[in-house]
Structure 1
Amino acid sequence: MSASVAVYRNVYTEDRFKQAYGSDDDARGSMAFALLTSVAPIFGLYTSFFPVVLYMFFGTGRHVSTGTFAVVSLMTGSVVEQLVPTPLEMNSSSSETAEFEAQRIGVASAVALLSGIIMLCMFGLQLGFLSTYLSEPIVKAFTSAAAFHVTISQLQSMLGLRLPRHTGTFSLFKTLASVMKNLPHTNMAELLISMVCLAVLVPVKEINMRYRQRLRTPIPVEILTVILATGVAYASSLDSTYNIEIVGHIPAGFPRPRMPALHTLPEIAGDTVAITFVGYAVSVSLAMIYADKHGYSIHPNQELLAHGVSNTVSSFFTCFPSSATLATTNILESAGGHTQLSGLFTSLVVLIVLLLIGPLFYFLPKMVWVVTWLSVVVLNVDLGLAIGVVFSMMTVICRTQRAGCSVLGRASNTEIYRPLENHSKCYEVPGVKILTYNGPIYYGNRNFFREEMSRLLGLTPEKIRSREKARKALEKREREASVNTVV
């Protein structure tokens, strides 16, 4: 993702990514995120099944639902596009298309395999403490800004445009410029479908949020929209009449185990590290949020093991990288799920889709919307996260280096001590000077601590040396005086 590369790709769309972590339909969302990853929709269903079952046995987050996640899918899609770009002219024969899809999912599965291995190595080294540096502001800013990337990447699909996709630094602005330049070529049929979907989805979402206390269950507007759009596309042959992209064939049943594209591991290593940390950051942060809400604790190192096993094993079943999913986790928690057994019911729904319902999504139009934000928006997802983490660590270092030192005084007739500079009714204990330093003491702030302590005690090194010199001189005179007295 370091170089800026333009490749041709059929871009599809997903449901709105919400900073508020609203609801989402699991089967529909997983297929949309598969398209975001630049692989066929069926692989999204696989990724919403195998990791869920594996995490159920190893994870410590009782409310966490794993599977496809927009940001991880977008980053994986960038890797797939770089290694297996869509040819400018590709023969439409089934054999060539199948080979092309096999190459793409091979790369995506290799990313999942390497990501799982990295997490297992981190578990072996007990590096779960690294989640400490992924502060809440970093995670919130990252996810909302990454959602803005997802939104822009899907904008061309809403307009029915087939444009080159840009990756690397400033890719968002290059994509936006490309969309603006090609606005005259908009497919009005796809734009109309997109606008109708938005006109239905947004108001109903607001109704669900505003009246969630009165509604026993939220209105399942996404799945209703999918069913209606699929029926209309089937009845009116929109794909052939207006050249609208549809999902196409979704095979029923389980995939055969397949080896990921191991020869690509050296090329994807750098990007996979970024994808791993993004997935782990979101998963642990989400698990901590619900653990705090319901009064239990999670174990970051065990989460490394759980997600490491999930990604490693599922990569052999043509799955791309998975992580905790915001929307589905919110649904499970609001529905009353309190253990990972709720994930079993989620996987059963996906299993039904895999075995029975999948082919019915053939005529589903490939469009709908996402949402919202700065380092990530301007630069790129992986680089933006790195900048956020480094900046957060720098602020911690700056705060601890000059945390401030105060003299404490005691409140009258109590054992309560407060800084004298802020509490005029407190007084110093005679003959005792009590200091407090508002931070940890370590090698980075030792000089500042020494200076502050000397200033508050009135004992600068110069004064100490002069007093020590005067004391030695006095002792010398006393010794000389005692010698003269004896003589």
Structure 2
Amino acid sequence: MLEKKLSKALDELMDKATSVKFAQFNDESSEGNSEDTNSDDGSMGQKILELQKVNRPPMNQEQFDQKFAYVRPKSESQLKRSMKKYFRRYQAPFTSLYAFNKFLKSTIPILDWLPNYSIREDLFYDIVGGITLGVMHIPQGIAYSSLAGLPPVNGLYTSLFPVLVYMFFGTSRQCSVGSFAVVALMTGGAVKSVVADHSEYIGHEAQITAMLCMQVGLIQFLVGFVGLSFITTYFSDEVVSGFTTGAAIHVFSLQLKDIFGIHLNKTDGISYLPQMYVELFRKIGEGDTNWVTVGMAACTIVLLLIGREILNPLLQKKCKLPVPIPFEILMVIFGTLFSALFHLHSKHDVKIVNHIPSDIPPPAIPHFSLFVDLVKAAIPIAVVNIAVHISLAKMFAKKFNYKVDANQEFYAMGLTGIISGFFPVFPPACSMARTVVNANTGTRTQLSALISSAVILFVILFAGPWLRTLPMCVLAAIIAVALKSLLEKFGSVPALWKVSKIDCSIWIVACVATIFIDVTYGLITGIIYALFTTIIREQWPRWHVLANIGGNFDYRDAERYRDAFFFNGTCILRFDSPLLFTNVNRFKDTVNKMVQALDNQISTIECDEKPIRNVIVDCSGFAFIDLMGVNTLKDVFVEMEERGVKMYIAAAKAPLREMFESGDLYKFVPKSAFYPTIFDAVAFATKSSQAGGGIYLSRTPTYSFVNELAHTTDE
């Protein structure tokens, strides 16, 4: 009943106040209306307090803790808790047969889903998806192997062994592991570096890539085993997207020599791409272009674009085709036949694939003597590999409503690399293009990997010699078209700029550094810059003046709400950042600016006794605080006290208050200065103001208080 009456009275007073605008009063209107406004606002303030008392009376933090029996939890360090959790994870499987069975199924997921496999519901889609993937693997494996500095057959091996291993350990149903352009390019850089230092490996590059594959797998496995899978959070979408787009430029650029039929001197290292373009344009200008390869590449690109972008969508819509037509494999077949019929290699000097072995190599122990030489290359490849893989796995798991275990994916990719490293492959990765096609064909499980591997095995054992006359310019054109989806990400930059300029700058820095420096250093630069922006944002965080909204319990940013009430002589500050050594000076400056603005506001009030100045710090934005932050709160409180300003600290979380106690803050700042909510702090502050003879509440400040402070937020 009381609440209804108070609500009705509040509504009446709100109606009376609707004519008051949220803007700076000029001197004339302030003088003419000050008496009426003050009367209404004072009454409004009393009603607000009465309404809030219906819930509970105002109290400080110490009273609140006593009333509701606050108990500090048993102290235990975060490191100790993490170590207990870590060892418990590996002890639990051996506590019972049920726990061991559950552990075994989570470690080898195929033991869980294969016994429950539905032949009637899933087999058709897995067969269709497997054949489609196998067909896609063939041209991509052959083409990307050249990026890795290997013969074509090694690309087919990379599309065979890793695919089978991942089928046993992976939790993603759609991810297509195998050759991937960006990883192949990074592998090629590592091969060049090792060969330059160890000439005995010239002609034995597959031994280098096999060791690199195992090393990348070991890194991924150890990251999962130690429980460091959280590091993927440092690879933001903007870093990964910018880097992969920049790497796509490298991959595309390396195809130009085959498209134009020009032999270029091998260049690598920092800023090699601009040097390559200088040499390419020089040789084009000198007339070294092979127009036969240019014509074949151009025809391949046009036919692929027409087939992929126009015919496939049209035929799937009109004819209800379950899978898209594999135009890439058609181009491989046509290119091979055309080259053989017209003897393009012998008559027109068109570079061809040449010999492809028709056998499966036995497993062999990789050369561990190269371990140290490859660490520098293995780490960034492992980072790119898992960042792309986890992103795609989570995206399609969400789309098809199932869960992927991120930590298990580290194990899966790690074991895939370790086991595959016994064969002449280069590091496998999850391909974006194949994964999208795999999802679109309706693939249900990783059993499709068995079908695609059978397709690859057939090509290796029987169809390899048929591909001997395949022109390299056709493969270059296939790669160029496959990069289209990556290069299209340049079009997302304007939209990203509108949403977040900082995130857009991260994308641009990662992309530009990758293009103009190097692939590996571009990734490192992107990650460092992204972390740097985080530090900068914490060093210069946003802060806000809060006001009471609509005469209720809410306190929000005053610059965003026009139906706002201010308490004369009282200012509420929220600092949206942890209070750390990087931003304590900004916090001090902010409080001082607020007090100065508060003095300016009070100077405009025409009354005999000026309100007591109150500053309320809303600590809800402090996610955590360091010792320097604690000392800063102490210094600011003491300084305010010396200037005659009462400081109230509100909404501090329990861990912060425990840090205050550990940092001896309460020796300098009494516990009575802490309040559980802004409401409690405001209640005590306004009582203090009333005792000093000040005006209690004002809907519109007579001084443009918020506007003044808003201009200081960017300083």
- Matched with 2:468 is 362
Task: Give the one of 464, 473, 483 matched to 2:641.
Answer: 464
Contact kept, 8 Å, 1:120 with 1:304, in 2: the verdict is yes
Indicate the residue corresponding to 2:217 in structure 1: 116
Residue in structure 1 matched with residue 310 of structure 2 by the alignment: 207
Over 3 Å counting, the alpha-carbon distance change for 1:83 and 1:433 in structure 2 is same
Aligned partners of 1:77, 1:450: CA distance in 2, in Å? 53
Q: 1:196 aligns with which of 299, 314, 321?
A: 299
Q: Whose radius of gyration is greater, 1 or 2?
A: 2
Identity %: 31
TM value normalised by structure 1: 0.81
In the TM superposition, residue 350 of structure 1 has moved relative to its aligned partner by 1.9
Q: How far 1:428 sits from its partner (Å)?
A: 5.3
Question: Residues of 2 paired with 1:300 and 1:453: CA distance?
Answer: 44
Change (3 A) 1:468 1:26: closer
- Once the two structures are superposed, the pairs formed by residues 59-458 of structure 1 within 5 Å of their partners are 59-84=170-195, 101=203, 103-183=204-284, 184-207=287-310, 211=314, 213-214=317-318, 216=321, 217-367=323-473, 368-369=476-477, 370=480, 371=483, 372=487, 374-412=512-550, 415-427=553-565, 435-449=573-587, 451-452=589-590, 456=594, 458=615
Across the two proteins, how many residue pairs are aligned to each other?
438
The two structures, once aligned, show a CA RMSD in angstroms of 3.1
SS in 1 for 2:451: helix
Could you report, residue by residue, the CA deviation over 1:342-367 in whole angstroms, capped at 9, with x for unpaired residues? 33333232223223323321221112
Task: Determine the C-alpha separation between the residues in 2 that align with 1:454 and 1:337.
Answer: 62
Deviation at 1:292, TM superposition (A): 3.6
Q: Identify which of structures 1 and 2 has the higher relative contact order when contacts are C-alpha pairs closer than 8 Å and 6+ apart.
A: 1
Deviations 1:406-462 (CA, angstroms, capped at 9, x unpaired): 243343365544212211213358999765443444554455445545655548553
Moved more, 423-432 or 75-84: 423-432
CA distance in 2, matches of 1:80, 1:338: 37
Structure 1: 4+ residue segments shifted above 6 A:
85-88, 429-433
CA distance in 1 between partners of 2:158 and 2:281 (Å): 34
Q: Give me the TM-score of the superposition, normalised by structure 2.
A: 0.57
Contact kept, 8 Å, 1:283 with 1:323, in 2: the verdict is yes
CA deviation digits over 1:124-182, x for unaligned, max 9? 22221111111111111111111110111111111112221211111101111111122
Does the CA-based 8 Å contact 2:259-2:294 persist in structure 1?
Answer: yes
Residue 63 of structure 1 contacts residue 337 of structure 1 at CA under 8 Å; is this kept in 2?
A: yes
Q: 3-state DSSP class of the match of 1:165?
A: coil
> Do the aligned partners of 2:182 and 2:244 also contact (CA within 8 Å) in 1?
yes
Per mean C-alpha deviation after superposition, the further-off stretch among 307-316 and 434-443 is 434-443
- Aligned amino acid, residue 463 of structure 1: M
Local SS of the residue matching 2:420? helix
1:45 matched residue in structure 2: 156
Deviation at 1:65, TM superposition (A): 1.0
Q: Are residues 242 and 393 of structure 1, via their aligned partners in 2, closer, same or farther at CA, if it must alter by over 3 Å? A: same
Rounded Cα–Cα distance in structure 1 between residues aligned with 2:543 and 2:471: 63
Contact 2:175–2:392 (CA under 8 A) maintained in structure 1: yes
Offset at residue 399 of structure 1 (A): 1.8
Amino acid at match of 1:349: V
CA contact (8 A) 2:352 2:468 kept: yes
Q: CA 1:182–1:337 in 2, change beyond 3 Å: closer, same or farther?
A: same
Work out the CA distance in 2 between the residues paired with 1:290 and 1:420: 42
Q: CA 1:346/1:436 → structure 2, altered by over 3 Å: closer, same or farther?
A: farther
Cα distance in structure 2, aligned partners of 1:249 and 1:64: 31
Classify the secondary structure of the residue corresponding to 1:409. Answer: strand
Offset at residue 33 of structure 1 (A): 0.7
The runs of 5 or more residues in structure 1 that have no matched partner are 1-21, 89-95, 470-487
- Check conservation: 2:570, 2:615, Cα contact below 8 A: no
SS of residue matched to 2:560: coil
CA distance in 1 between partners of 2:428 and 2:293 (Å): 30
Offset of 1:119 from its aligned partner? 1.6
Letter in 2 for 1:112: C
Shift of 1:105: 0.3
SS in 2 for 1:84: helix
How far the C-alpha of 1:209 sits from its partner, in A, is 7.4
Q: Provide structure 2 residue ranges, at least 5 long, that are not aligned to the other structure.
A: 1-132, 488-510, 595-613, 617-635, 647-715
State the shift of 1:335 in Å: 0.8
